[in-house]
Structure 1
Amino acid sequence: MVQSGTTLTREDTENEAVSGRVKWFDPVKGFGFVISDSGGPDILLHANVLRNFGQSSVADGARIEITVQRTDRGVQATQVLKVEPPEAPESAPLADFEQLDPEVMAQATLEPARVKWFDKAKGFGFANVFGKPEDVFIHIEVLRRSGLADLQPGEALAIRVVEGKRGRMAMEVNAWESALSR
């Protein structure tokens, strides 16, 4: 880290690529921190940098690739390059998906959608797929397994939807921008 009062050189301000894990991210506070795989100080991840990637949140423990810049205030992320969901614990699949045919789930296509509402405390919310009248149920566990921590009303998504015993359900949720590159 550069000491206060020191002039930054070009080398200090150049961006470098870093891989790591999200330590924590709070969309209400507008920031969080990443722990680099190679060690060193925590890396500040500002909400604006995450939004430029097309996401409003990221799950704790998610794998992340970023570019960073060393400043007189510490190491900060300047761009998000890739986000992968946290490793799923060795647990049973969600009960809502147990009865579904794995082939049907594998063939579900990404559909453009917009968040209607999502309540993290309740653990669920709904989205609307463009051109379809039915709401799509989104469970917090599906969101977490997709690498996201929260959703905002109006947020654009790309989701994989299946018909469950209680209606249309998201089995995967992606930020719109990240889904475009798939």
Structure 2
Amino acid sequence: MTKVNVLTADDDGVTRIFGEVKWFDPVKGFGFVVSEEGGPDILLHANVLRNYGQSSVADAARVEIGIQETDRGVQAVEVYRIDPPTQQLAIPLSDFQDLDEETIRSAPLEPARVKWFDKGKGFGFANVFGNSDDIFLHIEVLRRSGLADLQPGEALALRVIEGRRGSMATEVQAWENAAILDGDMFED
């Protein structure tokens, strides 16, 4: 992400900042962001995150957001960008260790919908539109993609490979974010 040192508010009083997710709890419906410039914690409400196309965000994810000062404190009013956490503490998934990184990244993004996901179990399944075959979603893949949880019915874009246990996601993108990043996927 490009860091902007001088931040100014637009006509609506929205200031664009860069920061890091301190924590986000999708069950509670909110979390907090810490600005690169310092200052008080910034409230990130689930509705603002949903407007971006995601139902969760991983702790320590890098974000670019629009904020406003309110009588209840500083709050995020828009999410412009989310980057996965830079430090990956998790061990590599055994399903990926024999695959070339370029092979994983070259898999096309495919439109999908979450069938179910259980954060406690650390996995779930999705289906590519028009195909009833299950695609395995591992929680570590979500974290590496900047997500913390998924909701049934949530629209996504997935990079899918055939692993030792069948079809599995190697990357998860919010539907709206994927359309921007890989626009040719959605062209007619």
- TM beyond 0.5: yes
SS in 2 for 1:105: helix
Residue 22 of structure 1 is matched in structure 2 by 21
| Corresponding residue of 2:44 | 45
Aligned mates of 1:152, 1:28 — CA distance in 2: 11
Cα deviation, 1:38-96, whole Å, max 9, x if unaligned, reads 00000000000000000000000000000000011100000000000001336642111
Unaligned 5+ segments in structure 1 are 1-9
What's 2:124 paired with? 125
Compared with structure 1, are the counterparts of its residues 18 and 100 closer, same or farther at alpha carbon in structure 2 (3 Å cutoff)? same
Structure 2 unaligned residues grouped into runs of 5+ = 1-8, 182-188
Distance 1:28 1:55 in 2: 14
Letter in 2 for 1:137: F
Task: Kindly indicate whether residue 180 of structure 2 is the aligned counterpart of residue 181 of structure 1.
Answer: yes
Whether contact under 8 Å (1:88, 1:145) holds in the other structure is: no
Report how far residue 105 of structure 1 moved: 1.5
What root-mean-square deviation, in Å, do the aligned CA atoms of Structure 1 and Structure 2 show? 1.8
Aligned equivalents of 1:133 and 1:33: distance in 2? Answer: 37
Q: Confirm or deny: 8 A CA contact 1:25 1:33 kept in the other structure.
A: yes
8 Å CA contact retained: 1:85, 1:146: yes
- 1:104 Cα deviation after fit: 2.6
Q: Secondary structure at the match of 1:125?
A: strand
2:50 is paired with a residue whose SS is helix
SS in 2 for 1:97: coil
- Name the CA distance, whole Å, in 1 between partners of 2:116 and 2:105: 26
Q: Is contact 2:124-2:137 (8 Å) kept?
A: yes
| Cα deviation code 1:138-165 (max 9, x no counterpart) | 0000000000000000000000000000
1:71 match: 70
Indicate if the aligned counterparts of 1:116 and 1:128 stay in contact, CA closer than 8 A. yes
Distance 1:42 1:100, change over 3 A: same
- Cα 1:90–1:140 change in 2 (3 A) is closer
Separation in 2, partners of 1:102, 1:177: 25
Computing the radius of gyration from Cα coordinates, the structure with the larger value is 1
